Structure 1
Amino acid sequence: MPLLRARPALLYAAVSLACPEGALADEREEVRTVLFGSLDAGRSTFVSAGAKVAPGGIGRDGFVTLATLGYGLRPERDWWGDPRGKAGLTPPRTLRHTVQAGAVAGWQWVRDWGVAALFAGPEIAFEVLDSPGTRKLPTPRIGARVQGELWARPTETTLLTTTLIAGTARWSAWGRVSWGIRVPEWSAAYLGPEAALYADRTGYRKWSLGLHATDFAIARLSFRVSAGWVYEEQIRRPGAYGTLTAWLPL
């Protein structure tokens, strides 16, 4: 019975998402869509929203689609837009605006220990560097995206998650791994450490390490919060970050 009650958090996984633990087996089979949104804030910010759809039911093996739309804003050094960079001086900071969207499809495997899923599909990205060197808006780039997810329960009271997303529109990759232990005082939420890494074609790198609380609910809306330390290579000094994710099964 403990495994059965913990499985919804795994079955509704969608890019770091999970479902409330109170669902029963027949309710899981009826759920075919999960809406989600997230905010990652720090020196750089990224906000996204999307939907995960499983025609056969979120709680079953089968075909799954996932669509996302996101906007990011980050500071960086303007090595190309300012001539001082060519003279060996430190160029000023500027802001990079990014809009990115993807629509992927794949297959999920649901087991007693958790769920694994693989996706692939097209993505599109649009970037603007808020710089004196910018003369015209760049053309949006179209590429391909692959994504993998794993939500596993090594023991009855622990949760291990791994997500990896890579795309060619910006030649970027993002990965995250977390571990948590169930805290009954938090309505069966999981609490533990997390780590993430992001990199793209511009040479930008970001590492983060923090703590998360996953799968606590208010009515039908469930949440994940995390906070910790982040290092961005182009900023060259550590800072703090915070993430809030919410999801709603339909």
Structure 2
Amino acid sequence: MSVRPVATIRRSAHLGRWLATLGTLLADVPSVAAGEWDVVLFGSLDAGAATFVSAGAKVAPGGATRDGFVLLAGVGAGQRHERGVCACARLPAVSSLSRSTALGAAVVGYQWFHDWGVAALFVGPEGSVEVLSGSAGSLALPPRWGLRLHGEIWARPSDETLLQATVILGSSREDAWGRLAWGYRLWDAYLGPEASLYADRTAYRKWNFGLHATDFALGRFGLRASAGVQFETDQRPSPYLALAVWTTL
């Protein structure tokens, strides 16, 4: 007598129960089709004596307006002028240099929503490439890889005010950037002062002090515009303009 049919029936029963359990578990996972995944595209431009442009995406599997894990990925490029010893010359000498930078990062983190606002913390890999240019020529520096730590807070101390703080630390260029802004709700935007600081391993420093208008809408896009004065190491003060744009898919 063969027992294969009985074994087959038993395996089928076990498989059926396993599939039913798997289906129950998957029913609790957010799905793109259900519209519970949010993708936010963003870009920014800082124009001044030192210029930087960036673009990226924020993916929130559980929704962009609730607690949960978030993936943040972006690329950027910038250029600034500085004084230093140019190794690209035959005889190294102190001269005016242009430093061009391209970088990218992909970080994962968690966001917490509270009655007063939202806080988020991210960590992940980053990479950068730099090129030094001077009167004697150009020199491409080796690519650098490292770790990025990114934290931000969007707080509303009252119904009419906004307090925003961001800090980004990177090991590939041994740099740090921070921004602090306060705003009061007027004409469908938060208007107020802002200040930011950038510093890296080359002893370069950049301070921005200005005014901003945050969270005003243009169609399906949210925007932030800023203007003020920029202070750089070994450079004269100069004006700057900044624009940030974001939209949800």
With structure 2 as the length reference, what TM-score do the two structures score? 0.81
33, 36, 40: which one aligns with 1:34: 40
Aligned to 1:247: 246
Structure 1 stretches of at least 4 aligned residues deviating more than 6 Å after TM superposition: none
75, 82, 86: which one aligns with 1:80: 86
Aligned to 2:155: 152
Give the conservation status (yes or no) of the 8 Å contact 2:132–2:139: no
SS of the aligned residue for 1:78 comes to strand
Aligned to 1:53: 59
Structure number with the bigger relative contact order (C-alpha 8 A, sep ≥ 6) is 1
**Partners of 2:180 and 2:37 in 1: CA distance:** 26
Give the conservation status (yes or no) of the 8 Å contact 1:31–1:249: no
Aligned to 1:111: 114
Where structure 1 has 5 or more consecutive residues not aligned to the other structure, the ranges are: 1-28
Show CA shifts across 1:107-161 (max 9, x none).
0001121000000000000001013566753221110000000000111100000
SS of the aligned residue for 1:49 comes to strand
Matches of residues 134-149 of structure 1 in structure 2 within 5 Å?
137-149=140-152
Aligned to 1:225: 225
Report deviation, 1:218: 1.2
| 1:118 alignment partner AA | L
Give the conservation status (yes or no) of the 8 Å contact 2:133–2:139: no
SS of the aligned residue for 1:92 comes to strand
SS of the aligned residue for 1:223 comes to strand
147, 155, 173: which one aligns with 1:170: 173
Q: How many pairs does the alignment contain?
A: 214
| 1:120 alignment partner AA | V
**Partners of 2:135 and 2:193 in 1: CA distance:** 41
With structure 1 as the length reference, what TM-score do the two structures score? 0.81
Report deviation, 1:205: 0.3
**Partners of 2:239 and 2:90 in 1: CA distance:** 31
Over 3 Å counting, the alpha-carbon distance change for 1:30 and 1:181 in structure 2 is farther
**Partners of 1:31 and 1:59 in 2: CA distance:** 11
Report deviation, 1:30: 4.4
Report deviation, 1:94: 1.8
**Partners of 1:176 and 1:135 in 2: CA distance:** 32
Show CA shifts across 1:152-189 (max 9, x none).
01111000000000000000000000000000xx2x21
Give the conservation status (yes or no) of the 8 Å contact 2:46–2:243: yes
Aligned to 2:131: 128
Aligned to 1:197: 197
RMSD (Å), alpha carbons: 1.8
Q: Equivalent pairs: percent with the same residue?
A: 55
Give the conservation status (yes or no) of the 8 Å contact 2:181–2:194: yes
Report deviation, 1:84: 8.4
| 1:241 alignment partner AA | Y
| 1:198 alignment partner AA | Y
Where structure 2 has 5 or more consecutive residues not aligned to the other structure, the ranges are: 1-34
Report deviation, 1:50: 0.2
Which of these two proteins has the greater Rg computed from alpha carbons? 2
